């Protein structure tokens, strides 16, 4: 594991019919994994960074009388990055998960990325669930910052939907109707191929579950 950040971490009791009191916990993490089977002279990572966004959604607890936009419970999203060196060429790799529930916050978080880890002269790759369809303000803000959408560059006639299956993953027919998960790149980087994973009936488990509520995006990139 190259770097990790922990965003929201909520825990609370819940009474479940027929099973009594249960402890429910939800933890949101962003992680970058790096291969360890390559010689250090060929591949290495450095400058690991991890942070949560300053802009976030606040949930108000009614008993406190707090304003709707300034709740005491912070719903935090994060980002992680490393500088990866492959055979002497270095690129910054950033991964993130932008806020799904509030478009204005989502746009502000995209701005934090542009001003923060994406503010580099290195070739840069941005990966993540941006919760933003092509042409929406956060996606446009990143394209304006010089990024190319790997899927659009390699498969312009394919909608490439990545979201969303049922929360229990048991729907028999795929419900992927939006593209909100991306590989974006900028600088001396080219994309060779881009594909989905976890999007076909053959990807379902023997018990009929989809591997995730999202399809994944896999892109083969080349540092020039």
- Which tokens belong to 166? 């049922």
Backbone angles phi, psi at 62, to 5 degrees: -50, -35
- pTM of the predicted model, to two decimals? 0.90
Distance CA 138, CA 148 (A): 14
Q: Report pLDDT for 75.
A: 87
Q: Report pLDDT for 24.
A: 79
Residues of the chain short of pLDDT 70, as ranges, are 16, 19, 60-72
Other C-beta atoms within 10 Å of 192: how many?
10
Domain spans, the chain: 39-223
Q: Report pLDDT for 51.
A: 96
Structure confidence by residue, pLDDT tens digits, 119-133 = 999 999 999 999 999
Q: Which CATH architecture has domain 39-223?
A: 4-Layer Sandwich (3.60)
Distance CA 201, CA 198 (A): 8
**77 Cβ neighbours under 8 A, 6+ residues apart:** 7, 8, 28, 52, 53, 56, 96, 97, 98, 99, 109
Segments in the chain forming alpha helices (H): 103-115, 137-144, 150-154
Give strand ranges (E) for the chain.
3-16, 20-32, 43-52, 57-59, 73-75, 78-86, 89-97, 124-129, 148-149, 181-186, 189-197, 216-223
Distance CA 142, CA 98 (A): 13
Q: Report pLDDT for 65.
A: 56
Q: Report pLDDT for 72.
A: 67
- Calculate the CA dihedral of residues 77, 215, 184, 154 and round it to 10 degrees: -170
């Amino acid at each position: 594991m190259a770097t990790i950040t922990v965003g929201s971490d909520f825990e609370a009791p819940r009474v479940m019919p027929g099973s009594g009191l249960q402890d429910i916990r939800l933890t949101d993490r962003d992680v970058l994994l790096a291969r360890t089977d390559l010689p250090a002279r060929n591949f290495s990572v450095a400058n690991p960074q991890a942070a949560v966004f300053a802009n976030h959604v606040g949930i108000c607890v009614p008993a406190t009388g707090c304003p709707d936009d300034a709740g005491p419970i912070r719903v935090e999203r994060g980002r992680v990055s490393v500088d990866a060196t492959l055979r002497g060429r270095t690129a910054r790799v950033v991964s993130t998960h932008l806020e799904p529930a509030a478009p204005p916050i989502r746009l502000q978080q995209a701005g934090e990325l542009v001003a923060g880890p994406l503010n580099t002269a290195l070739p840069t790759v941005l990966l993540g669930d941006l919760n933003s369809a092509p042409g929406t303000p956060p996606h446009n803000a990143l394209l304006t910052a010089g990024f190319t959408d790997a899927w659009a560059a390699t498969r312009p006639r394919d909608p490439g939907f990545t979201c969303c299956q049922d929360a229990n993953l048991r729907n028999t027919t795929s419900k992927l109707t939006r593209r909100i998960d991306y590989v974006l790149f900028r600088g001396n980087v080219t994309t060779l191929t881009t594909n989905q994973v976890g999007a076909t009936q053959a990807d379902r488990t023997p018990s009929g579950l989809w591997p995730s509520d999202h399809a994944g995006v896999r892109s083969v990139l080349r540092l020039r």
